Amino acid sequence: MPHVLVLKPIHPDAIALLEASGCTVEVLHDLSWPVMAEALPRAEAIIVRLHPIGEREVAAAPRLRVVARHGAGHDTVDEAALTRRGVLLTVTPFANSDSVAEHTILLMLACARHLPENHARVVSGRWGAEAPRIGVEIGTRTLLVIGFGRSGQRVARIARGFGTRVLVHDRAEKAPAIEAAGCIPAPDLWAALPQADIVSLHCPATEATRGMVNPRFLAAMKPGAMLVNTARGSLLDEGAVAAALHAGRLAGAGLDVFSEEPLPPTNPLLSAPNVVLTPHVAAGGAEAMRNMAMHAAEAVLSVFAGRPDPAVVVNRGLLVRPRA
């Protein structure tokens, strides 16, 4: 029976699916290296959330056939190391876009209406002691969505429901799809940034996008605009974002992902004003968590059956040649 190693608990329905399909399942709660090193030699598949999988882990798992990411991104997994060994890498691109999009809108609204500050005023007894900060309606503003994948598309659709004018920038040529969604294509990012009251990031983590929100990017934004990131922490130069918040260049930022997680106490965003921080939970709605677990389990089973789904395989080059 194929053995599946699950790094941290996932939805029990996915465990039940694997076991009903003839797999043995081992769930690791402790991901320290001694525990991992003892378990990895048994693994023919790994289902992983955010724990890094690199050369060391791959070398310790000689029977490994597939690593299934419990999520849409894969920047914590060494794709090259897997590919060299002929191990497939899968993701769950269809599972959590609704959850991410709703959380994105939540962060926009929290920034636009100064939610943390107003909550603090009530609980600290300062309700009538000072004039409240006046918020804005996002329906009267322009939103720039950067990245028009599933989450970006869903954010644009929800925002348009508020009446928001939506610009979309995507590295791929997607103008027909953008226009069909009732949005405005913005092929020139630098021309679009000064128009946007809110910028929302929905890009993958790649060398091309690493640190894209840097001093030049922030200087090009409209003064007093807001920034939202539910994509990947590596997209931001966090020091530059914190400095822009302190200077008032940014009116607010809603951030769910960070370059180092958990957020260390030295991160400059922790002391920045007008920022709303959440602990990488945008994709963590109850429905999305079950969907991601089930889709990851289904990807593993498809590999064991010899029928991997190209739509969820990252290193698709392995599908056209024999695997090691």
Per-residue tokens: 169: 């920038």
CA distance linking residue 161 with residue 265, whole number of Å: 38
Q: Is 261 a catalytic residue?
A: yes
* Beta-bridge partner residues of 185: 168
Q: Give CA separation, 169 vs 94, 224, 295, in Å.
A: 21, 20, 29
Q: Catalytic one among 56, 280, 290, 323?
A: 280
Q: Is 232 annotated in the active site? A: yes
85 is catalytic: no
Please name which of 279, 276, 269 lies closest in space to residue 254, comparing C-alpha atoms.
276
What phi and psi, each to the nearest 5 degrees, are found at residue 28?
-95, 125
In this structure, the number of other CB atoms found within 10 A of the CB of residue 202 comes to 28
Q: How far, in Å, CA of 225 to CA of 82, rounded?
A: 41
Which position among 38, 261, 287, 316 bears the catalytic label?
261
Active-site residue (options: 49, 65, 114, 232): 232
**Residues catalogued as catalytic:** 232, 261, 280
